[in-house]
Amino acid sequence: MVEPVEYAVAVARRLEAAGLSEGSRRIYRIALVSWAWPMVGRTTPTGAARRGASPPVVPLNLLDDPACAARLRAACAQRATVTDPRTLNRELSILRGALRWWREQGWISTDPLAAAEPPPPGAPAAAAARLGGDQVRAVLALRAPLREQALWHLLHDSGASIERVLALNIVDLDLNRRRGRTGSGTGRAELHWGPRTGRLLSLLLLSRTAGPVFLTDRRAPAGTPAADRCPLTGRARLSYRRAAEVFTDATRALDPSGSGWTLRQLRAG
């Protein structure tokens, strides 16, 4: 097998050799390609900017450069502030597997992730300072789609974790009393929200009586569990990753650093 000189070609070779299903191959490709930007010191695009974006050309031997390893460690730390540990661990696992295979082929000689420590399973994302009152008001005043307005208001009003809010189903809500229940068994918790959040939720759920509260923009892919799919629209439950990307993109102009804020910073209390 001819040794590739570019990261993108090495990714393609890895996917060909892995024997994955089409769905898994797509997930692996997205994860591996997303690491190309940090390898050269650039920020991975998110949201709409990510779809169709051409990754930078990365010489494969760059992975043996200590500077590349340092950039990947920094990217891992940054990713931990905007995504849940399970997603980050999955993305790191996919990259680690590819790095191991490339070393076995003799294409690279070092492991640029050797010193990168993934968050332990079940660990919360890295803490970030809560937004102040003026910042919250600025966020909630943003011109944003109804789904985002309802989600952001509910997160701030209830103080619940993002994971709990995204797991909500319509049957969990009592819109008239402005309250809901999340979780199951001893892990169940009650949520409460204010009048504006109540109005937004009522508009968001107009004509829908079952399924997840917060949905993606597109129909669910084949194989999506029925519990994570709207029976009326066929769309899937909104993922943490997508919700986080949208929020960070929307708040870049408000953040003095230009990086954008995280959903965890929006929670009240």
The pLDDT of residue 123: 47
Of 16, 13, 53, 18, give the one whose Cα is nearest residue 36: 53
The pLDDT of residue 146: 96
**pTM here?**
0.62
The pLDDT of residue 264: 84
The pLDDT of residue 51: 61
Of 53, 244, 266, give the one whose Cα is nearest residue 160: 266
Residues of the chain with CATH 1.10.443.10: 133-265
Binned average pLDDT, 10 residues per bin, the chain of 269 residues: 86 91 86 91 72 84 93 83 75 92 94 72 56 92 95 93 91 93 73 95 94 93 90 93 88 85 77
The pLDDT of residue 127: 52
The pLDDT of residue 234: 94
Residues ≥6 apart with Cβ < 8 Å to 2: none
HEC readout, 8-71: HHHHHHHHHHHCCCHHHHHHHHHHHHHCHHHHCCCCCCCHHHCCCCCCCCCEHHHHHCHHHHHH
In this structure, whether the domain defined by 133-265 belongs to CATH 1.10.443.10 is answered with: yes
> Any bridge partners for residue 169, and if so which?
212
